[in-house]
Amino acid sequence: MTQPPIEDVKTHPYRCYEMSLEDVRGDFVGGSYDAISVVTIACAFFQMHQQANPVAYYGIAVYDETDTLIAFIGRRAADEGEVA
């Protein structure tokens, strides 16, 4: 999959990305102008991966216009002290 040009990625204030096992931002998945829509994109992308391989690690992260993580969908080890 090829990445869109950087200017296209920055068009949308809310963006979601695949995450690596080390929780490093990976491929751009999609973007939107509001948080609920981009979380819906992230959920659909995660569900597609789960259908293909239910035992693999998949993480999808959603960032806002300030590049702050606002949602994470998928599997990751819980941080010590983190509330589920």
Residue 2 lies in a domain: no
* Total of domains in the chain: 1
Q: HEC profile for the chain?
A: CCCCCHHHHCCCCEEEEEECCCCCEEEEEEEECCHHHHHHHHHHHHHHHHHHCCCCCCEEEEECCCCCEEEEEECCCCCCCCCC
| Per-residue pLDDT tens over the stretch 36-57 | 999 999 999 999 988 888 777 7
Residue 55 lies in a domain: yes
User: Would the pLDDT of 80 be above 50?
Assistant: no
Residue 47 lies in a domain: yes
Given a contact cutoff of 8 angstroms between Cβ atoms, the answer to whether 74 and 19 are in contact is: yes
Residue 82 lies in a domain: no
Instruction: Note down the domain range covering 29.
Output: 11-74
Residue 36 lies in a domain: yes
* pLDDT at residue 71, as a whole number: 93
Per-residue pLDDT, averaged over 57-72, amounts to: 91
